[in-house]
Structure 1
Amino acid sequence: MNKFTAALLVGTAGLAFAATAQAEPDGEAIYNQACMACHMTGASDAPIRGDEEAWAERIEQDIETLYTHAIEGIGAMPPKGGQTNLSDEEVQAAVDFLVEPVM
């Protein structure tokens, strides 16, 4: 093995470590930044966080359906709540935070 091959292997191992060392998205922070304006006030009939009655029918669906609705949009809510810069994983973390009080 030459120096170039050794450096390439070390660099590749470092990339793999960096990819696995990333922190999970902060659902609460994402909710506060992207979702709170509607889901705290009920704007455009958005279900309010913690309102069991408003979430009852939605919770009957599986979580994957809720993720899909949040990512793709539903009703008056645009895809990703209008924050198209968010990754699907970030939106899912926000959904988890949003529904946690009623699950």
Structure 2
Amino acid sequence: MSNEQEHIEEHSSPIKTPKQLIVTVILAFVVPIAIIILLVNMVTSGTKVGAGSDTLSSEAVTKRIAPVAGFALVDANAPKVFKTGEQVFTAVCTACHTAGVAGAPKIGDNAAWAPFIKSGFDAMMNVALHGKGGMPAKGGNPTLSDFEVARAVVYMANKSGGSLPEPAAPAEEGAKKEADATPAAATPAAAAPAAPAP
């Protein structure tokens, strides 16, 4: 029995009075609740929209949910309206030929354009249509017609010391299709053998 009595140790609690017990119980509830409230406030404070903000306006929402690729429906039977040389230059060519990016001759720089103008319109058109070096074919806009590219080449060359004539407009596609269809329709009728008489 003496062994059992020797191993019994007295444990003392850090809480000695009832007042300390009440304070400990209250803090055990209040501190976690305060921490949770502060965390929730910190997380939600970044998503508040300030007064006067237009993030929820219909225009802003429409812009955010718009499809990435924009397109326009065009009537395939509508007549093609060709852009002028200046319009093509402003829309496509100006990015490189105004600043001289990647060795592109600047518009208005007669010395830089002189070798190109001397090489002739056909050589310039070949470069414009198929690309060369850092310049992509048709300036990177494959929807341009050859006529529109020719107009842009003439516009830039003439603004840079050249005197090239304006390219002739292409014939109407509808007239071309009719001209192609007429000989084809006449050929079978002429080639048809006459029916033998009974």
TM-score (norm. length: structure 2)? 0.40
Aligned length: 85
Greater RCO structure (CA 8 Å; 6+ sep): 1
Runs of 4 or more above 4 Å deviation: none
The CA RMSD over aligned residues, in Å, is: 1.8
Structure number with the higher helix fraction is 1
Unaligned regions of 5+ residues in structure 2, if any? Answer: 1-77, 163-198
What is the aligned-residue identity percentage? 37
Q: Which of 67, 90, 98 matches 2:148?
A: 90
CA drift of 1:43 comes to 0.5
Find 2:128's aligned residue among 64, 70, 73. 70
Task: Supply the distance in 2 between the matched residues of 1:36 and 1:89 (Cα, whole angstroms).
Answer: 18
Q: SS at 2:142's partner residue?
A: coil
Structure 2 residue identity aligned to 1:96:
V
Taking the aligned partners of 1:76 and 1:96, their CA distance within structure 2 comes to 20
How far apart are the structure 2 equivalents of 1:64 and 1:42? 22
> Deviation string for 1:10-46 (max 9, x for gaps)?
xxxxxxxx97xx7653110010000001000001110
Change (3 A) 1:84 1:23: closer
Provide TM-score, normalisation by structure 1. Answer: 0.75
Q: Distance in 2 between matches of 1:73 and 1:57?
A: 17
Larger C-alpha radius of gyration, 1 or 2? Answer: 2
